[in-house]
Chain A
Amino acid sequence: MTGRIDPAVIDRISAYLDGALPTGERAKLEALIARDPAVAAEVEALRGVDALMARGFQDMLDRPLPLHLARAIEAEPQGAEPQGAGPAAAESGVVAAFPHRMSWLSAIAASLVLVGIGAAGGMLVTRALAPGVEVVTARPGWLDDVAEYHAIYARQERHLVEVPAAETPHLETWLADMTGVPFRAPDLTSMGLTFEGGRLLVAGGKPVAQLMYRDAKGGVVAVCFTAGGDAAAGEGRTGFTDRRIGAFDMVTWKSRDAAFVVIGDADRPDLRAIAEAASVAL
């Protein structure tokens, strides 16, 4: 199969999957994908490779982290021990599980556990205890976190958002400040979506803005973004990349300054169109 595709095209497909093709080349490749089944099959095959690789990288992230690594940070003499973290965690009752001196670092580890439990399946951070070993694992990219949040928040009838659409100007200022990404909340009524409001998330360790929309049937679609774009996008945007994480489909793209994702239920046929509309409006 691969044999009959020009190696240069294969390289371009790879860059296309990474959203790294300039607009012109992207359009050309998309046209080629549309008319050449072999090229389309290659794209699909490489997407499959990507999905499997993501599982391998997830495994690396989930491996136990030896305590001495965390201690390396603790032991560094520079700066003083902060006050307060110890007692706060001590009250949580997690302390008893630690065989070690209760330090600010273990307090952080303990607080991370609480986040993991508190997120109720969101599993921002989880931790396992083995003798002498302390494990701190975080979810990988911000997209996985966005999916976890969506699983939690899209089900909230009354607490779908933190700041309602009625306070859009405040929401825009606040989220722009927190993420460092100036924006206008897109009007997606033409897509049958009502803007409900938004909130701030922490995904992949970074502040992420989450804008929530609901359709007539109650389906929830979120537009999320965070700082960190792609210089290659120039004044426009990179190509769209489709992803599926769990029960959700995503369409991602980047501008010069920010990374965006539209996320909704896996069976929605209109996600690309929504992404298109949102990318123009943002």
Chain B
Amino acid sequence: MSAARKLAFPPTVSVGGCAVDGLRGSFEMASSDASRFQQGIFKLVDQTRFRKDLVQLLPRLRRFALSLCRDAGDADDLVQMACERAMARSAQWMAGTRLDSWVFTMMRNLWLSELRSRRVRTGAGQVDAAESDELRSDVGGEEALQGNQIAALILSLPEGLAATLLLVSIEGHSYQEAADVLGIPIGTVMSRMSKARQVMREKLATVGGSVTP
């Protein structure tokens, strides 16, 4: 507790006291939970912090949802369901572990059951990503590839590759952590990463993206 209190925020971030409070919650939660509980701080405070942390995670949760569903509408629904579930189960979250991975895992479970029930309802799987409107961005030409064009290519990867790529390359999960979140063997993470890179390389080459950094 004393360590957390001592924390002086960088002067450049000091505009408005509320800003500092907003962030302070996140590392108290990450690092000094044991001492906080010893001090007997109320559960209400935990709830508040938990929600704050969840709100801060939202953009990344949505990106993960997008990489899973590859459809913007589904992704938003999934984030909403996952946040509701996360709050309902916040007591089960092990403080000190990664909140993002915990919610990611929840999202993947929710998405799997959604896919299952869709197959039952319609006798078909998800909408083929290649047919979704969002992916019809006009890629190509002489200009440098735009971020949204590359995003469209990523979302048109075969199922499972985009989410694996995101977890490992961008979210900094190890192969084991990614395997845990996605519920697949570690070897599958490795082969998906390699496959994803090769397929992306081909896709980028077709649309004229230079693959030299």
A interface residues, Cβ below 8 angstroms from B: 2, 10-11, 13-15, 17-18, 20, 44-63, 65-66, 68-70, 72-73, 76, 78-80, 82, 85, 88-89, 92, 104-105, 107-112, 114-115, 117-120, 122, 124-125, 136-138, 140-143, 149, 152-153, 159, 162, 174, 177-180, 199-202, 204-207, 227-232, 244, 254, 259
Q: Which residues of A contact B76 (CB under 8 A)?
A: 66, 68-69
Closest to B35 in A: A177
Find A178's partner among B18, B32, B52, B194 (CB 8 Å cutoff): B32
B6-52 interface with A by 8 A CB criterion? 6-8, 10-19, 21-23, 26-27, 30-32, 44, 47-48, 51-52
Q: Which residues of A contact B122 (CB under 8 A)?
A: none
Closest to A46 in B: B197
What's the nearest-Cβ distance from chain B to residue A258, in Å?
Answer: 12
Q: Which residues of B contact A60 (CB under 8 A)?
A: 62-63, 66-67, 151, 154
Find B151's partner among A59, A149, A228, A232 (CB 8 Å cutoff): A59
Q: How far is the CA of A180 from the CA of B63 in the complex (A)?
A: 28
Find B176's partner among A44, A61, A114, A231 (CB 8 Å cutoff): A231
**Other A-B pairs, 16, CB within 8 Å; known A78-B87, A79-B44, A244-B213:** A49-B204, A52-B145, A55-B145, A59-B151, A79-B48, A88-B16, A105-B55, A114-B18, A115-B19, A118-B15, A137-B59, A149-B10, A152-B12, A174-B6, A180-B96, A206-B26
Q: Which residues of B contact A122 (CB under 8 A)?
A: 12-13
User: Is B200 positioned at the interface, with any CB of A under 8 Å from its CB?
Assistant: yes
What's the nearest-Cβ distance from chain B to residue A231, in Å?
Answer: 5
What's the nearest-Cβ distance from chain A to residue B103, in Å?
Answer: 11
Q: Is the CB of A207 within 8 A of B27?
A: yes
Q: How far is the CA of A159 from the CA of B209 in the complex (A)?
A: 42
With A20-B190, A50-B169, A119-B12 known as contacts, the answer to whether A205 contacts B53 (CB < 8 A) is yes
Give chain A's interface secondary structure class: helix
Residue contacts A-B, CB under 8 angstroms, 6 given: A78-B90, A79-B44, A80-B44, A118-B16, A180-B96, A205-B26
What's the nearest-Cβ distance from chain B to residue A101, in Å?
Answer: 16
Smallest CB-CB A-B distances: 3 pairs: A56-B150, A59-B147, A118-B15
Q: Is the CB of A53 within 8 A of B213?
A: no
Q: Which residues of B contact A228 (CB under 8 A)?
A: 98, 172
Find A138's partner among B59, B87, B176 (CB 8 Å cutoff): B59
User: Is B112 positioned at the interface, with any CB of A under 8 Å from its CB?
Assistant: no
Q: Is the CB of A73 within 8 A of B83?
A: yes
B90-138 interface with A by 8 A CB criterion? 90, 96, 98-100
B interface residues, Cβ below 8 angstroms from A: 3-4, 6-8, 10-19, 21-23, 26-27, 30-32, 44, 47-48, 51-60, 62-63, 66-67, 76, 79-80, 83-84, 87-88, 90, 96, 98-100, 145-154, 165-166, 168-172, 174-176, 190-191, 193-194, 197-198, 200-201, 204, 209-213
Find A205's partner among B48, B100, B148, B212 (CB 8 Å cutoff): B100
Q: Is the CB of B154 within 8 A of A53?
A: yes
Q: Which residues of A contact B145 (CB under 8 A)?
A: 52, 55
Closest to B98 in A: A228
Q: How far is the CA of A108 from the CA of B22 in the complex (A)?
A: 6
Q: Which residues of A contact B154 (CB under 8 A)?
A: 53, 56-57, 60
Q: Which residues of A contact B27 (CB under 8 A)?
A: 178, 200, 202, 206-207
